Amino acid sequence: ITRPNQVWCTDITYIPMRRGFLYLVAVMDWYSRKVLSWRLSNSMDAGFCVEALKEALLRYGPPEIFNTDQGSQFTSTDFTEVL
């Protein structure tokens, strides 16, 4: 990885709350480690991941490589159609 916008990654982290969890998705550039976009949700549906992806693409253009853990949100039709 030799420059920005070459490789991006995304993942979801669970934030414990008093009554369950909030879910945080972040899209990050591997070269700069900059968080390009993020969203919070109270459910694990793919929608908030798609919103974060769309924002990153709009602001920075597409990367050459997009890495995920292949979770269901990132392999959903809604997500892969945007990517």
Q: How far apart are CA 14 and CA 12, in angstroms?
A: 7
pLDDT in tens, 31-65: 999 999 999 999 999 999 999 999 999 999 999 99
The whole-number pLDDT of residue 17 equals 96
Structural domain boundaries in the chain: 7-82
Torsion of CA 15, 35, 52, 3, to 10 degrees: -140
The whole-number pLDDT of residue 13 equals 98
With bands split at pLDDT 50, 70 and 90, how would you rate the model's confidence at 82?
A: very high
Single out the residue of 75, 77, 79, 56 nearest to residue 7, CA to CA: 56
- CB distance 41 to 21 below 8 Å: no
The whole-number pLDDT of residue 20 equals 95
With bands split at pLDDT 50, 70 and 90, how would you rate the model's confidence at 27?
A: very high
Domain at 7-82: CATH architecture: 2-Layer Sandwich (3.30)
Q: How far apart are CA 31 and CA 26, in angstroms?
A: 15
The whole-number pLDDT of residue 35 equals 99
